Each structure stands twice: as structure tokens, then as C-alpha cells.
Chain A
């Protein structure tokens, strides 16, 4: 599809914390026209439907619920002069031509905007039931936390009364709170691992709410028609247990919303399933940047906001020709015990985001060791759970080139 394109300085895809922070910062830095394209009816991203605190500590120095945090971010961006286009979806990125362009659809129809720089800030979603291959019927009432939150906080509806919650990441606890908000009573929390993904103390919440927890348990059957009637679990000992419920919430298992990245032919990282970037947030096309949770599963709103702000600064520098060349960057790769490393490339000359972000494959303790050309470049002690944030200072590596692998050496 080819439509004549408007021209602008920067287009940002996604008005979540990362996109809004970046837009506000770009305006503050004096960039002329900044367009934020958001497909939903309101700006704010995921926090729009996280009806609980804490949001905003880093950004507003106070504790807010998700929706009021989202509104504040949007207001701040509007005041800064950001051109925020709601109900507008980026359906494609066109990388031909001197400047890349986005193709949009909105209630007015299809249009295009060409920009000197594009920032992708499309966030994450949770792994679906289908992606988990969960066995059984396919009745109404099976969903992710994000959908449950939208029922509760955006539409004021209850999809079920007695759901079963799958997973024990933080977002599983958030789904318990959301259930309370709609008067639903979860019947169980089910985790395939031998213990919770969150620290044990957090499991006080389901305990206080009287929600039974099942570890090393697997769903072998979801049954019911037209609505969920129950779930059969295979338990640690090998026995089964059938639990009556009218819904199933698959929580967590986050995955970047990277459809555009793939469709545009930008390099995708196998570890994060997001775009691969350098320390300035540049994707494999140096005119296209990325920030926020589209980069990796998964960080907090505050982190994503800060990252959006930082990357906006790099975009502004880049537009003045101040970033080091894109070519010849060193490649960072996860070695044994490490799930991913972000950024995936380090351009020559340092600068940019000062921390490498990693996740371990499983809860472990030991040393992270960076090796390049057969040589140990740096190491640092580490102790973390599977989904916990792990940082590694990139300046420890010194000037690097070629391939650098970061591995876990367990004690």
C-alpha cells in the first residue's frame, strides 16, 4: 500500500511509559515535531489497566495507581507539545527511502508518516494459552492477566467468579488483586516450577487470601462448554486433582510485542524475542530505535520510562550527528546459564546505556564472566532468581570488538 506521507522529525510507536517518556524528553531537548502513535483509545500503555499501586515513584516521586500514573504521563507529554494520535495503529514500517515511514490506520483511514527517526515502544504481552499448548477444551473464560485487567478496570466487567491462576511471577499476584477488585475469588494458584518465581515472602498474599498454591503441578485438562467448568492438574507426586472453576488466567511468560520488528525485517534477538539493539537503542537499522519492554521480558513501568527518556536523549544526539557509527559493533551473546543480554551490540566508543541487562536461566548463584576472543574480559558476582533483573556494567568490558559471551559460572 502506498500513500503520500507527512513528514516529521520523530515518530514514536506506542504511548506506554517508554514512548511517552521519550516523546516528552525529545520535546524538552528541542526536537521540532514528535508524533506518538497509539492504537488504544487512551494513552498510557499497560498501566492504564493496572488498577493497583505502586507506580510513579521514579517519575512523580509519589505512589500512584496504574491508571492515574498513565493519565499523568499523557498529560505531561501533551503539555510538552507532543502530537499524540490515539486510535491509530502502525501497520507497517517502510524502510526504503532516505527516511523510514510508518503506515497508519485510524478511523479516518490509511495514512503514512515519514520521519528522520522512529522509536519502537510497543511493550510486551503475556504468553497465550495456545503458545503454552495447554490441553483441553477451548471454552470462554480462559485469558491472560492483561485481558482480566481490561475487564476489571477498563470495562468494569467480570469475566468469571472463581478462576484458577496459572503462574507465580509478580503479575500473578497482580491478577489476585484484580480478582478482588471485581469480587472474584481465585480457587487456586498453579505453578509448574518447584517453588514460586517471586520471592517466597510475596506468597504471603495468596496465603492471606486463602488461595491454595500448587507447585510442580501441570494442567492436563481444561474442560467445560461454553464456559470453563474445571481444570485437572497433574500433581508433583504423579496423582491428579480436579478443581472446579469458571475461568483460567495464564499469567506472565512475557514476550515483546515485536510484530513490527519482524515484519520490517529488523534483526530479532532469540533470547529476548525483541529487536536487537546497541547501547543507544539503535536496532539493526540505525534510523530505528527501540526502548521499554519491547526490548525484553520484562521490566517495571519505572524502568521502561527511564529507558525511554534515555533513548530519547540518544535520538536527539543522533539527529545532530553525535552518535558513533553503527557499523563494526561488538556482539554480546548469552552463554550457558544466561537467557539474554540487552543491548546485544556495543558500538565503538562507549557511551549510551551504561548497564547491560541480563536474566539467568534459573535461580542461581555464582559469577558472570564475559569472554571475548578466548580471553576473560570481566567478571562480577551474581545471585538471582529466574525473572530477576541482573545488571552488568558495560565499562568493565573495556573497549571490545567481535563476539563477547557472558556466561554464568556457578559456585
Chain B
């Protein structure tokens, strides 16, 4: 059995970015993911905002990684065909107390290097956001906050990693392992894996992985659930900016923003829970979110709900990221990446490479890396249905073509489950939620997923 340079545990946002970075550095990477597809954990459900770090803790690793990650995303995105919806954000004061807090937020933004922020008067807000409730008092405009497609970047990173020789092992759970002074021997549900170094990017299980492999955990994961409601595409013309509340200690609060797919979302909540697997939606909470959205933008009362979802943040008992380095044992934990990992992932990957260059061996970086382009699924850019020979429209609400589905299924990193197909194509994610296409998708994907859509042939 060959020994990899680096085993990365977890194909979430952080693990996928790390796999790409290390593969580009010339390391032999093996990525181990217990789910059937990438983004099976915390990373499958978030607000999809590419943050500036304007409100991140001063001088923190989190801030540095967010800003480095954001910069890299903006630099590489066009080559990989990754979208950017340049919405800008407004931090909105709805009360005098919140208004008083804007000074501090503005000062922090400037200190964090986000210097293009600017105050908006109620009249200016009305011009920019005519549908926003008139009870708004004042806002801070953060032009650099943008919306992205939260899934395609990580697919692109894994395709790139694979092109550079990385081995991607899905449905592979790390169950234990030890380090003999030279090599890590990881026992997994699909056999032993050997590597010279380990990156722990296990998200909601980061502490458990430390305990399992290092004997002790340097932090404790405290899952924090966020529920969301997605409004129909008809809502997209009602909001331009990301509407952020004045944040409090625990959370950035409930956000209202467009999505890259032409919808509007409201959420997330911040609910502590013990359970690391169940991210349930709850009727009362969802209705509360709709009510909050309608308070902010009254015209949303007339718009249908398209989808509801929930995600778990891998928060820990402390606020910041939990980076643990064990030089002797050649181990790096990228843990506790609770609510900014979409933005920070590339920055965390770069950080890991810097740490590794001190504790691991050197590699010759790939000379002319290829830049795989992923199919666009964002609404504001050309889609496959606009081209000829697309086969047919399979998902009518999201106008997903048969060719798009076939390309995903036959791609270099094919989806391991239906969720993976949805994230690659948007099939079934529209307003009818599969009323029209679910059965057709069951046929088109027969034999592809460990958990197939159809349980059986009809009796």
C-alpha cells in the first residue's frame, strides 16, 4: 500500500479547499469523507455569503483566513466559472439602540481593513432598497459583501485536486488510527489508509477525531443550528443588498438576501443543540422567519415559499477557529469553523500549507495547473437551457436540462447521493420541490446512488 503525504479527514468546505491547495503544492493527498458526497456535513447548508470580515474579531485567525480566502476566491473564480453576485450588504438599524451601535461597527470595519464602508441615511436606504420597511432608521453599507454559489466552488476544488492526483474517498469513515513516529495508519470503513501527515477538517466531529486519533481533544464542538426559508424567485426583485441586522455576541442574526439561484432567503436562526447529525426544520421557527422577513420587506407577504432547510454550525465552546498543530505527530486541526467557513476555506487551506511547510516535508508545486471549469448553475449567468441540444428540460422550475444532469452524473467527481446531484444541478430544488421531476430523476439516476430515489420497481 502506498503512503500519501497528507490525509485530509472531511470533505466539507475546509477539507475540499485544503485538498486542492495541498495537491497544487505537489503533495500526494488522500481525502477521506464518511458521507457519500462532498459537503455532506455543515457545509451543505449556509447563507452563501462571501464575507469581507468587516465584523470579525480584530486580529483573529478567523479574520485573516476570511480575508485571504475571499481574495483568493475573487482571483480564481472566473477561471473556474464560479459566480459572484455583487450585492453589497447593509447593516440595518431598526431601533435607536441599534443605531447607536453602528458607530462601533463602522470603526471595527475600518480597523479590519474594510475601508469602503459608508453610512446610509433613511432616505438613501429608500432609494437603494425601495421595498424595505419604512421603519429603518439608518444603515452601514458594506459594498464588498457578496453572494456566491455555496456548492460549486468546492466541486471545482475537488476536480482540481483530483486532476493533480489527489485520491478522493467518499463513504469512508475514519474509525481510528495511530502514528508510529513516521507514518499515520488510519483505519477506515473502507480499509487502512497511510499518510505522513493528517489534516483534521472533520467539522462537527473535529473534537471527536482529535480524541480518537490524538487521545485528547483541544476543543469541544457545540453544534448550533440555523434554519432558513427560501422565497420564490418572484422575490428577487424586492431586495438588492444583503440585509444584515446589527449583530450580537452569539450570532450575526437573521439575514435577508438574494441567492445566486435567483431566490431570496431569510435566516439563519442560532439554536444550540447536542445532536451532531439532525438538522431539523421546525414549523414555528420557520413561520417566525417568514414573519421576520415580511417585517423587513412587506411585499414578501405575497410571495410563495420555495424551500426550507437547516444547517449545523461546527461551533465550539470558544468563539474563534480552533487550530491545533502537533508538530511531532504531523497533525493540523482546522476546527471550530463555525459560521464563516465558506469564505475562509481557501484562507484556512493556505494557513495549513504554511504550517505544514514547517512541520512536514517540502514538495515541488505543480507547474502548470489546469483550471477546471464547473457548469454554471447561477441564475444571473447563461444556463444550459439557453443552448441547443440540451436533451430536454428535466426540472421545470429550475430549468435543469438532461445534459446538465448527465454531465454531473458522468463528471470527474460524480454525486454520491441525490443531495449531491441537487447541489450540482439544482434539479428538484425549485418551487414544486419535485412534483414534476422527482420520478423522472429517479429513472435518470437509477444505479448511481447508494440510496436510490426509487426503492423498487413497481410491483
Contact = CB atoms under 8 A, between A and B. Distances in A.
A207 B309 CA distance: 36
Interface stretch (A146-154, A325-333, A397-405): A146-154
B126 interface: no
Interface residues of A, number: 56
A301 to B, nearest CB: 17
Contacts of A129: 433
Q: Is the interface of A mostly helix, strand, loop or mixed?
A: mixed
Contacts of A181: 458
Interface of A: 1, 39, 41, 87, 89, 91, 105, 107-110, 125-126, 128-131, 133-138, 140-141, 143-144, 146-148, 150-152, 154-161, 181-184, 221, 223, 225-227, 246, 255, 259, 262-263, 270
Contacts of A105: 385-386, 390, 393, 399
A107 B455 contact: no
Contacts of A108: 388-389
B328 interface: no
B299 interface: no
Contacts of A148: 439
A87 B393 contact: yes
Nearest to B450: A226
A144 B428 CA distance: 13
B456 A157 contact: yes
B283 interface: yes
B286 interface: yes
Contact of A130 (B302, B306, B442, B454): B306
Contact of A158 (B307, B389, B454): B454
Q: Is the interface of B mostly helix, strand, loop or mixed?
A: loop
Interface string B430-446: 01111110111011000
Contacts of B432: 125, 128
A136 B281 contact: yes
Contact of B453 (A110, A137, A140, A182): A140
B435 A125 contact: yes
B443 A155 contact: yes
Given A105-B393, A143-B438, A150-B438, A158 B459 contact: yes
Contacts of B304: 131, 255
Contacts of A130: 230, 305-308, 433
Interface string B366-401: 000000000000000000011111111100110100
Contacts of A128: 431-433, 435
A15 B453 CA distance: 28
Nearest to B287: A133
Given A89-B396, A107-B388, A137-B280, A155 B454 contact: yes
A41 B397 CA distance: 16
Nearest to B289: A133
A246 B234 CA distance: 34
19 contacts: A87-B392, A105-B386, A128-B432, A129-B433, A133-B308, A136-B281, A140-B451, A147-B439, A151-B439, A151-B442, A154-B439, A158-B456, A159-B442, A161-B456, A182-B459, A223-B280, A226-B417, A227-B455, A259-B397
Nearest to B389: A107
Nearest to B451: A226
B179 interface: no
Contacts, number: 147
Contacts of B277: 225
Interface in B295-334: 302, 304-309
Nearest to A144: B435
Contact of A133 (B283, B389, B390): B283
B31 to A, nearest CB: 21
Q: Which of A129, A147, A223, A263 has the most CB of B within 10 A?
A: A147
A270 B439 CA distance: 31
Q: Which of B230, B287, B306, B455 has the most CB of A within 10 A?
A: B455
Interface of B: 230, 234, 277-283, 286-287, 302, 304-309, 385-393, 396-397, 399, 417-418, 431-436, 438-440, 442-443, 451, 453-459
Contact of A89 (B280, B287, B399, B438): B399
A151 B307 CA distance: 22
Contacts of A221: 280
Contacts of B457: 156-158
Given A89-B393, A147-B436, A150-B440, 10 more contacts: A108-B388, A133-B286, A133-B308, A136-B281, A154-B440, A155-B442, A156-B457, A156-B458, A183-B459, A223-B280
Contact of B283 (A134, A154, A157, A259): A134
Given A129-B433, A134-B283, A158-B459, A151 B454 contact: yes
A131 to B, nearest CB: 5
A161 B454 CA distance: 10
B305 A39 contact: no
B406 to A, nearest CB: 13
Contacts of B282: 135
Contacts of B230: 130
A147 B428 CA distance: 11
Contacts of B387: 109
Contacts of A125: 432, 435-436
Q: Which 10 A-B pairs have the closest CB atoms?
A: A183-B459, A109-B388, A150-B439, A157-B454, A128-B433, A226-B451, A182-B458, A151-B439, A147-B438, A133-B283
Nearest to B456: A158
A402 B287 CA distance: 37
A158 B230 CA distance: 29
A225 B44 CA distance: 15
Contacts of B279: 137
A147 B434 contact: yes
Nearest to B431: A259
